[in-house]
């Protein structure tokens, strides 16, 4: 009972943390007048988190490089926003604002998913760098198309004047954003912690072996691209409600790369890592923009890049390995929550259904295994016993 | 212009290959190949291979390097499509099926260079093998919504995978990463994963490669165990002739893509043609 609760807490912790943040935000927003900039920052974070989680499905778990994720987002933003506008202008629907928003979400997600399906077909035939080029081209094509539309349809270069909730209550959009993050997590995490998720990671690890084991590679690859694109569309609709007008140039190549950076920094194949790094990078970006205004704005990209490089060095440099292992967040949490480390509990939980199969987690499991071997049965004795058993 | 239209028509035709009419025949054999062959351009890699493998047999495919043994495996598993001849599994023609469907029909294989899902745990590797079985059916929607069936299926799959691992003596290692297993155990895991797909015919591509004599003997016992316990038919490629003659009921010797000799191990390996191919005049 206690163990199952522990594993439950471990694997659903992210929901709890996000819900807690949402709650605190709501209370603060209702209790005190919130600065518009804070609210805007939170709104940016929610969009970035949804984007990063959905991209991590493709990059971290399917193992395909996609550089056109912003393209899916812009499709969601433009089409979802346009639909909402058309409906709002058609009649006075002030009362059912939320309903229009939900409809926009569904349509934006569906359109993005359709494009994901098309790009997914390219992914069936192309691998690695070539697929990256195709997705990049897709993102650029979408951007160019939306830039060159007429001002009546999608606003062209001036941008689409997008719908919004009442301007005074910007926090509503943030709360909706948090709910959408929870929904995204629910779908993607449950997908990965199931049969289909196992098949997807199998394709990442060895496509030939996956085929020979009877995994339908076509189906799973298309599924991943469709789901990932659909959630990018959802993020797009959220974005279009928060920003008016939306311009196609926002969703350029740089934005795709920024999301990719979030996924890579968070650790490939780690959803929680993506969430954390998306949050931190968005905050970093925002703060840099605030502090380096005016003439100093030129330095913004410089500092941003420098900080990213430092983070990557810190994460990977062999010389810092000891330091990393001694002072990290996981140790800190362990110290606070469970002072007595019980490796056997970790070991037994390690391959349960509710663990997302990630490289990082498996490495952790491995290190605990080695500890057990040293303390309990030695390596040699186990070997001998097994050989004896086989004879 | 007409030429251009013709070429476009040709290309469109190439995109939608004709449905191959597959027939079923009466057959006493698990696997029967009918003058199976493939040529890459002008090179005839394999030609005129006729294998007849009965149920519960352990059948060996031997030959010098480059004889086309692995190509035969690739033909049988749908990696390559045969340009000549065809093959039947329990009388059902399987020519032209893609790899995953060949597996669904009942042919599972291992690879010469081990191909495991390296970043997944051992038990998950086997569970991937169980993915397509009828009794573990569970749609993606059911999994995402976490309906009761998802939990039931996951639990059953895990139990079944553990059973399989137990047979191969890998139960203790089930939570380790597959890539961290020692070589011999990786081989065993690959066989376990192939067996998890519930095949009728198991193809083993050089299962004893890189093993020491002790491990080889262990492997021989394992393969016999598989045959008896799972009622399995095995076709294997091997260079170790001692291993082959100790294990196989019947063998076929290939050289330069053609069959040199077939029969029991003793007969075939003492065939003068075979001796010539291996040792020279």
Quick check: A361 pLDDT over 50? no
pLDDT confidence of residue A180 = 95
- Search chain B and give the residue with CA nearest A391: B218
pLDDT confidence of residue A352 = 43
pLDDT confidence of residue A317 = 81
Quick check: A369 pLDDT over 50? no
pLDDT confidence of residue A126 = 85
- Search chain B and give the residue with CA nearest A61: B119
- Search chain A and give the residue with CA nearest B103: A214
pLDDT confidence of residue A167 = 57
The reply to whether residue A208 touches residue B111, judged by beta carbons under 8 angstroms, is yes
Quick check: A359 pLDDT over 60? no
B80 and chain A: CB distance < 8 Å anywhere? no
Q: DSSP secondary-structure letter at A35?
A: P
Task: Indicate if A39 and A167 belong to the same structural domain.
Answer: yes
**A3 located within any domain:** no
Best mutation target, B99, B129, B130, B159, to test chain A (most A CBs within 10 A)? B99
Q: Which CATH number fits domain B19-106+199-281: 3.30.200.20, 3.40.50.300, 3.30.450.20, 3.40.50.970?
A: 3.40.50.300
Chain B residue numbers with beta carbons less than 8 Å from the beta carbon of A269 are: 119
pLDDT confidence of residue A197 = 93
B225 and chain A: CB distance < 8 Å anywhere? no
The reply to whether residue A208 touches residue B115, judged by beta carbons under 8 angstroms, is yes
Alpha helices in chain A (DSSP H): 2-11, 13-31, 36-56, 69-90, 97-125, 128-147, 171-192, 195-205, 207-212, 217-242, 253-266, 271-291, 299-316, 321-326, 329-337, 343-349, 359-375, 379-390
Domain map of chain B by residue range?
19-106+199-281, 117-196
Mean of pLDDT over chain B: 89
How far B274 CA sits from the closest chain A CA (Å)?
Answer: 32
| Last-in-domain residue among A288, A316, A344 | A316
Contact B174, B157 (CB under 8 A): no
Q: Which of B256, B192, B194, B198 is nearest to B63 (CA)?
A: B256
The reply to whether residue A213 touches residue B218, judged by beta carbons under 8 angstroms, is no
Q: DSSP secondary-structure letter at A33?
A: P
Best mutation target, A203, A212, A218, A384, to test chain B (most B CBs within 10 A)? A212
Chain B, 150-169: which have a CB under 8 Å from a chain A CB? 150-151, 153-155, 157-158, 169
Please give the Cα distance from B274 to B62 (Å, whole number): 10
B188 and chain A: CB distance < 8 Å anywhere? no
Best mutation target, A61, A197, A203, A209, to test chain B (most B CBs within 10 A)? A209
| Residues whose CB is less than 8 angstroms from the CB of residue A273 and which lie 6 or more positions away in sequence, other chains included | A265, A266, A267, A360
State the pairing for strand pair B43-49/B31-40: antiparallel
Query: Highest mean pLDDT range out of A92-101, A322-331, B147-156?
Result: B147-156
Q: Which of A187, A216, A389 faces B100 most closely, judged by CB atoms? A: A216
**pLDDT: is A92 or B88 the higher one?**
B88
pLDDT confidence of residue A190 = 92
Query: For the ranges A29-38, B42-51, B130-139, which has the lowest average pLDDT?
Result: A29-38
Quick check: A356 pLDDT over 50? no
pLDDT confidence of residue A367 = 40
Q: Which of B128, B175, B194 faces A198 most closely, judged by CB atoms? A: B128
pLDDT confidence of residue A258 = 92
pLDDT digits (tens, 9 = 90+) for B172-181: 988 889 989 9
Query: For the ranges A94-98, A212-216, B20-24, B194-198, which has the lowest average pLDDT?
Result: A94-98
| Last-in-domain residue among A300, A316, A332 | A316
Q: Measuring CA to CA, how many Å separate A196 from each of A121, A248, A293? A: 19, 35, 48
Contact B227, B218 (CB under 8 A): no
pTM above 0.90, yes or no: no
pLDDT confidence of residue A6 = 67
The encoded tokens of residue A101 equal 């928003």
State the pairing for strand pair B250-255/B258-263: antiparallel
Residue B95, Cβ neighbours under 10 Å: how many? 19
Q: Which of B98, B124, B169 faces A390 most closely, judged by CB atoms? A: B169
Please give the Cα distance from A149 to A159 (Å, whole number): 10
pLDDT digits (tens, 9 = 90+) for A47-89: 999 999 999 999 999 999 999 999 999 999 999 988 888 888 7
**A5 located within any domain:** no
The reply to whether residue A362 touches residue B218, judged by beta carbons under 8 angstroms, is no
Task: Indicate if A240 and A148 belong to the same structural domain.
Answer: yes
If one counts the domains in chain A, the total is: 2
pLDDT digits (tens, 9 = 90+) for A216-238: 999 999 999 999 999 999 999 99
Total count of residues recorded for chain B: 281
Chain B, 11-50: which have a CB under 8 Å from a chain A CB? none
**A31 located within any domain:** yes
**pLDDT: is B164 or A154 the higher one?**
B164
Task: Indicate if A381 and A271 belong to the same structural domain.
Answer: no
**A30 located within any domain:** yes
Chain B residue numbers with beta carbons less than 8 Å from the beta carbon of A208 are: 111, 115
Could you report the predicted ipTM of this complex, rounded to two decimals?
Answer: 0.88
- Checking phi first, is residue A337 left (phi over 0); if not, alpha (psi -120 to 50) or beta? alpha
Chain B residue numbers with beta carbons less than 8 Å from the beta carbon of A190 are: 143-146
**A329 located within any domain:** yes
Task: Indicate if A97 and A200 belong to the same structural domain.
Answer: yes
Task: Indicate if A33 and A172 belong to the same structural domain.
Answer: yes
Quick check: A143 pLDDT over 90? yes
**A370 located within any domain:** yes
**A11 located within any domain:** no
Task: Indicate if A78 and A173 belong to the same structural domain.
Answer: yes
Please give the Cα distance from A131 to A145 (Å, whole number): 21
What is the domain range of residue A122? 17-316
pLDDT digits (tens, 9 = 90+) for A298-307: 888 888 889 8
- Section A258-267 average pLDDT: 90
Bond prior to A245 in cis (omega within 30° of 0) = yes
- Section A274-301 average pLDDT: 88
Task: Indicate if A305 and A331 belong to the same structural domain.
Answer: no
User: If residue B163 lies in a helix (H) or strand (E), which one and from where to where?
Assistant: helix B148-167
Task: Indicate if A244 and A346 belong to the same structural domain.
Answer: no
pLDDT confidence of residue A385 = 38
Q: How confident is the model at residue A125 (pLDDT cuts 50, 70, 90)?
A: confident
Q: Which of A229, A219, A230, A225 is nearest to A195 (CA)?
A: A219
- Search chain A and give the residue with CA nearest B180: A366
pLDDT confidence of residue B110 = 94
For residue A89, the domain's CATH number is: 1.10.3470
The encoded tokens of residue A255 equal 């934005």
The reply to whether residue A366 touches residue B155, judged by beta carbons under 8 angstroms, is no
The CA-CA-CA angle for residues B136, B142, B146, to 5°, reads 105
Quick check: A93 pLDDT over 70? no
Quick check: A366 pLDDT over 50? no
- Search chain A and give the residue with CA nearest B168: A390
Quick check: B123 pLDDT over 80? yes
Best mutation target, A62, A214, A344, to test chain B (most B CBs within 10 A)? A214
Chain A residue numbers with beta carbons less than 8 Å from the beta carbon of B193 are: 213
| Last-in-domain residue among A272, A290, A316 | A316
Quick check: A111 pLDDT over 70? yes
Task: Indicate if A162 and A27 belong to the same structural domain.
Answer: yes
pLDDT confidence of residue B23 = 83
Q: How confident is the model at residue A99 (pLDDT cuts 50, 70, 90)?
A: confident
Q: How confident is the model at residue A96 (pLDDT cuts 50, 70, 90)?
A: low
Chain B residue numbers with beta carbons less than 8 Å from the beta carbon of A224 are: none
**pLDDT: is B68 or A389 the higher one?**
B68
The encoded tokens of residue A353 equal 């259904």
The reply to whether residue B118 touches residue A386, judged by beta carbons under 8 angstroms, is no
Q: How confident is the model at residue B14 (pLDDT cuts 50, 70, 90)?
A: confident
pLDDT confidence of residue A364 = 42
pLDDT confidence of residue A340 = 53
Q: Which of B74, B96, B81, B87 is nearest to B48 (CA)?
A: B87
Contact B254, B33 (CB under 8 A): no
């Amino acid at each position: 009972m206690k163990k199952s609760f522990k594993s439950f807490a471990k694997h659903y912790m992210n929901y709890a943390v996000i819900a807690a943040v949402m709650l605190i935000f709501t209370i603060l927003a209702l209790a005190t007048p919130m600065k518009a900039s804070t609210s805007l920052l939170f709104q940016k974070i929610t969009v970035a988190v949804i984007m990063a989680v959905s991209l991590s499905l493709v990059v971290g778990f399917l193992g395909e490089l996609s550089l056109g994720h912003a393209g899916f987002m812009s499709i969601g933003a433009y089409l979802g926003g346009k639909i909402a506008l058309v409906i709002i202008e058609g009649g006075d629907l002030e009362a059912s604002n939320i309903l229009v928003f939900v409809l926009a979400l569904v349509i934006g997600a569906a359109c993005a998913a359709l494009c994901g399906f098309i790009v997914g077909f390219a992914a069936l035939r192309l691998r690695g760098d070539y697929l990256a080029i195709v997705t990049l081209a897709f993102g650029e094509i979408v951007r160019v198309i939306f830039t060159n539309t007429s001002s009546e349809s999608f606003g062209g270069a001036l941008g689409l004047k997008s719908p919004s909730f009442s301007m005074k209550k910007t926090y509503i959009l943030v709360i909706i954003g948090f709910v959408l993050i929870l929904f995204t997590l629910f779908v993607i995490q449950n997908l990965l912690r199931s049969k289909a998720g196992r098949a997807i990671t199998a394709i990442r690890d060895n496509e030939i072996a996956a085929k020979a084991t009877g995994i339908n590679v076509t189906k799973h690859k298309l599924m991943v691209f469709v789901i990932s694109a659909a959630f990018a569309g959802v993020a797009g609709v959220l974005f279009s409600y928060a920003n008016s007008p939306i311009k196609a140039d926002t969703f350029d190549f740089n934005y795709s790369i920024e999301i990719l950076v979030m996924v890579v920094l968070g650790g490939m194949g780690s959803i929680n890592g993506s969430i954390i790094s998306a949050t931190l990078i968005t905050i970093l970006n925002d703060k840099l923009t605030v502090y380096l205004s005016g003439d100093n704005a030129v330095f913004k990209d410089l500092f941003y890049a420098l900080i990213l490089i430092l983070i990557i060095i810190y994460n990977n440099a062999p010389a810092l390995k000891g330091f990393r292992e001694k002072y990290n967040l996981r140790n800190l949490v362990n110290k606070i929550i469970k002072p007595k480390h019980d490796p056997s509990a970790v070991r037994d939980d390690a391959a349960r259904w509710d663990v997302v199969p990630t490289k990082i987690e498996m490495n952790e499991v491995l290190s605990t295994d080695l500890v057990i071997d040293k303390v309990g049965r030695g390596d040699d004795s186990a070997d001998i016993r097994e050989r004896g058993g086989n004879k | 212009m007409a030429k251009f239209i013709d070429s476009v028509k040709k290309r469109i035709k190439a995109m939608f290959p004709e449905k191959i009419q597959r027939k079923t025949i009466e057959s006493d054999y698990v696997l029967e190949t009918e003058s199976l062959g493939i040529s890459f351009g002008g090179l005839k890699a394999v030609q005129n291979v006729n294998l007849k493998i009965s149920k519960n047999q352990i059948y060996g495919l031997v030959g010098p390097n480059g004889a086309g043994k692995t190509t035969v495996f690739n033909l049988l598993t749908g990696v390559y499509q045969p340009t000549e001849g065809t093959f039947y599994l329990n009388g059902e023609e399987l020519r032209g099926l893609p790899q995953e469907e060949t597996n669904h029909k009942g042919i599972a294989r291992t690879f010469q260079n081990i191909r495991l899902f390296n970043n997944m745990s051992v038990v998950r590797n086997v569970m991937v093998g169980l993915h397509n079985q009828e009794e573990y059916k569970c749609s993606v929607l059911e999994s995402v919504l976490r309906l009761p069936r998802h939990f039931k299926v996951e639990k059953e799959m895990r139990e079944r995978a553990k059973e399989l691992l137990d047979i191969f003596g890998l139960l203790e290692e089930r939570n380790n990463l597959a890539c961290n297993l020692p070589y011999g155990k990786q081989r065993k895991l690959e066989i376990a994963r192939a067996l998890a797909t519930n095949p009728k015919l198991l193809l083993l591509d050089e299962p004893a490669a890189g093993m020491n004599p002790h491990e080889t003997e262990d492997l021989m016992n394992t393969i016999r165990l598989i045959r008896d316990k799972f009622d399995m038919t095995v076709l294997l490629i091997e260079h170790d002739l001692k291993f082959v003659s100790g294990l196989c009921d019947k063998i076929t010797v290939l050289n330069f893509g053609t069959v040199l000799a077939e029969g029991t191990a003793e007969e075939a390996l003492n065939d003068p043609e075979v001796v010539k191919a291996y040792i020279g005049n």
